Amino acid sequence: MIEDRTRTSSVVISAQREPDSAVGGRRWPRPVQDPHVQRHSLFRATWLAVNVLLVIALIFAAYSTAWEFSTRRYLKGFSDAIVPATSPGDEKIEAILNWMAHGPARRTSGADAAQSDRDPTDTLNYDALLQVCGTATNAFINLVDTGGMQVRRLLLVDSRQMTKHVVAEVLVDGRWIIVDPSFRMVLRGADGRTLTRDELADPKIFKAATGNIHGYDSSYTYDRTVHIRLARIHVVGSLLRRILDRLAPGWEDTPSMTLLVERESFAALVSSILLVIFLILLRASLRWYGEKRLGMPSVRIRQQLRRACHAFLDAT
């Protein structure tokens, strides 16, 4: 009799000391009536918001991937029809400029040349956009990039960091030569040699290269140039540039940075991927905090998928 009472009391004590996760199973989220859950309603709301945002970000990433893929296919069709695949770099450039100057008639309405259009499906098809330096350079850069050459845009700015003109730099034979798509010209010296921006910073060379171009503004000098104009971010632009220059010198010189600002689909793709990575890391941090600090065990996604598959198979 004494042994039975001792055994019964030990069972009762062990049941009282058994954690909630063992009694009710390791379920998370826990029932709303659980006072432990009610104390962490802010955490639960944050967890739910992060999961919803992650789903939205994944949908946006899938959409931007399809958008970039279709844009690349569109540009590939243009490039195959215009750019000779086996020709050297300078002949590819001349072929694109010749198409821009003498190509088939394009639509003259439906796009506002005053707008900052960075969609190549527009800049390649509207005549008004091919007459403006920014959008003409956009069309040129996208075609050159699809043609397998390295290209980046170059902004000619004044002392206030305001853009005066936009041209392109193309890597040919190890030199970043200057091409002006709005004037359909490769800038050359008096001897016919292609020029770089450092060479065009010399007033004499600049005058010799542009003096015979009809309508060329003499203020389009190369003494101040940037690839990405952060000054348009009025408050933090200059500070952000100093930080990036210190952390990653030459960050704006890469062709990839040019594509980010010159192709909307590519910018959307990169942004969506970065957003997904950030939300995954944030979700993992929240899960760790909930398990280690708040004592709220979570169910892994793979476990949820396994349970869903089992439920589906059992139902069928």
Model pLDDT, residue 25: 44
Strand runs labelled E in the chain: 151-157, 163-172, 175-180, 185-186, 225-226
Low-confidence residues of the chain, pLDDT below 50?
1-2, 6, 11-28, 32-33, 37-38, 113-114
Model pLDDT, residue 302: 65
**281, two tokens:** 């890391």
pTM: predicted TM-score of the whole model, two decimal places: 0.74
Model pLDDT, residue 4: 52
Q: Say if residue 29 is preceded by a cis peptide, omega within 30 of 0.
A: yes
78 membership: H or E segment, kind and range: helix 41-82
Model pLDDT, residue 1: 47
231-249 pLDDT per residue, tens: 666 667 777 878 888 888 8
In whole angstroms, what is the distance from residue 279 CA to residue 55 CA?
A: 10
Q: Around Cβ 156, how many Cβ atoms within 10 Å? A: 21
**76, two tokens:** 């590939």
Q: How far is CA 112 from the centre of its chain?
A: 25
Model pLDDT, residue 107: 62
Model pLDDT, residue 49: 92
Model pLDDT, residue 68: 94
Q: How far is CA 107 from the centre of its chain?
A: 29
Amino acid in position 30: R
Model pLDDT, residue 73: 92
